[in-house]
Structure 1
Amino acid sequence: MRNTSGVRLLRDDATRQRATFLELFLDLVFVFALTRISARLIVDFTDGQPGVLAGLGQALLLFLALWAVWSVTVWSTSWLDPDAQIVQTVIIMTLVGAMTMAVAVPHGFGARASLFAITLVTLQIGRVVYFHLAGHGRPDPHQSIRILFWFGLSAPLWVVGGLVNDGTVRGALWTLAVLIDYTGLFLGWPTPRLGAQRLGVQMIAAEHLAERYQQFLLIALGEAIFVIGLSFSGSEFHNDQTGGFVLALVSTVLLWRIYFHVAGGVLGTAIDRSRDAARLATDMAFAHMVMIAGIVLTGVGFELFIAEPLGHLPSAWLIAIFGGPALFLVGRSTLEYQVFGRVSRSRLAGLLALGLLTPPALHLQPLTAGAVAAVVLLGVATADARRSRRRPAETPTPPY
């Protein structure tokens, strides 16, 4: 489809499916954003236990805001032509806005709260308005109205939350804003008289969208590698710290293996075979969001047992050391259901093992607790490998 100036906006069969260099450039900003979130969490875990849960909640809100920015951008470029000048301008706007939000993350609930919130609102509303005006309402003027309607509901909560001085009030307002934003995303921005419609319902470039999800998960693994390297390079290279470094690397490889085993490698085919591709693409975004949050939290656990491998294990540290892998397995199990309509027993067994091992792990040293989590991940990966040898290659069969 072309706008009034004759510029193509929608993808067609000739549009390349691979991510453009500009899209990959945008991802670099989110690499930085994930490092800032990890740094926040590491401080929360090491500077005093009373603030850990509050710090986790704050980091989660900041993460969800950044993920919403990224996911809407990805859906847009899997529906629109990423080589169109208007679309590229929107990506550049997103890059600048996301970078500003990222630098505000370390003090996103303090001195930089207003910067984070105002940038988020300006970016989310500004790029929709720009696209609508520059594209002369094409390809779907009603979609712009739907999105602006929902952003209009959450924007005051973000801005007021950023300006108030009470952290509790800010947390409550931003939590409500996140719920509104994600309800709109999940339901397709239902609006009076216009109804609901998810981005890309007209046409989704399945290969492109699948590749973008895979790339972002690799970005999260890369951020974990960054945390591992930074922590170990700043240590004294003692034997126990070296053991923690090796254990963290092995755990990262296991996370990679578990993700890409079958389901993580056939996302494009699953979207192509789905009876409701737009819904499946939306649901896959939420599954990846959970996995990436788990990887970030796991990376924090790496930092903890590399820096202090021996001695007393604070109970809150198990939130990262065990909770991170558990969160990853929850997201991976959800993705497996989305691709194949079933969940492997090994995933559920891994979650059960982490839950049952948590009480006795309170009496272990940090490095030993990390080893236990790694053994659970190894068990899941080993079960996957055995299942692959016994069964032929499986064809994606999405449940919808």
Structure 2
Amino acid sequence: MLILCASIVIPFSSVKAADPAKGKAIFQQNCASCHNVHKKLTGPALKGVEDRWPDKKLLHQWIHNSASVLASGDKYANDLFAEYNKNAMPAFPAFSNEEIDDILAYIKVEEVKIPGGAAPAAGATAADAKDKGSDNSLLFGIITLVLAVVALILMQINSNLNKLANDKEGTATPESIPFYKNKAYIALFILVLFMVGGYFTINGAIGLGRQKDYMPEQPIFYSHKVHAGINQINCLYCHAGAEKSKHAMIPSENICMNCHKAIKEYAGPELFTAEGKKVDGTAEIHKLYDYVGWDPEAGKYTKPGRPIEWTKIHNLPDHVYFNHSQHTVAGQQQCQTCHGAITEMDEVHQFADLSMGWCINCHRTTKVQFADNNYYSIFEKLHQDIKDKKIDSVTVEMVGGTECQKCHY
């Protein structure tokens, strides 16, 4: 009987439980630009995603390669594909089934939370409480301040009681030193001021030059949502350097005119600025004509053109080397990884802080195309570790992606 129990327990104990914490890291790095648990973004809301798929293996296959599921004729997959304007989900063949299960575990944890950061619903898991605990720093600060005030009041009460006791016994009470003359209080105040000032100074210095959420006003209101989202113009049509050079490049006015020689009026959905001001799309097209010197009535260029002075949004320090093509071709990173849900933006803003820590975290979690890649043939130990099943994949960090001279030389 004991042997029978052991034979049942041992296989189950060898099954690795999904880790929501690991799933969160993978989700934020690879999925968050297109998906949210509670609301639609570029892709559907992920709450209840496992219940919507008839088979978990099919869900795994969809994440690994959505095109293969669509080709199989699965009704739910094809209906989903049609619902989102036939925008194909990027393939993630490097994800292991365990990593996908980690992501699904993280989604389940997030499902019980109320959107908008409210408290978890009844029955929330311990992982929820742990995750929520990181947002309680303000509450702890207020409690600390209240306790400090209470301590000062108690100290004053203690001083007054001592004075009353001394008066009753006829003992002379030393003259109390005013708060603002008390050396101990002054030293404590200076120490606290120094700590608070140092904290904000260091935080300010660390974030110096970063511009997350930066959204400058451009000379022409250009909507990526209309062009890349609704009209599904491929990013590479305008940003031809994204897969070929260090810079993705700002498209020339001639690329715009390839379409706008014929498209003279805007007939899409209403446009609004971030402040809620309505935008006249046709007037913005005519701003383009003015810059390039095009006469839409005559159908020809009638005056010299001048460059459009676009304001650059995504900037890296001069001492940082970044090659756009290396990340999009060799790294196979999607635009949304760094630029966010670009197909949903009327006015582009900086999605990520583009800090060194942000880049390093990406290198620590992103897997390279290691198998059948001659570029990595020199990493014999890693190839042997994969054969020996010591590791199942290779990240950018493992091939030197966090070495200082990779980006600073």
**TM-score if structure 2 supplies the norm length?**
0.22
TM-score by length of 1: 0.23
Which structure: greater helix fraction? 1
Higher Cα radius of gyration? 2
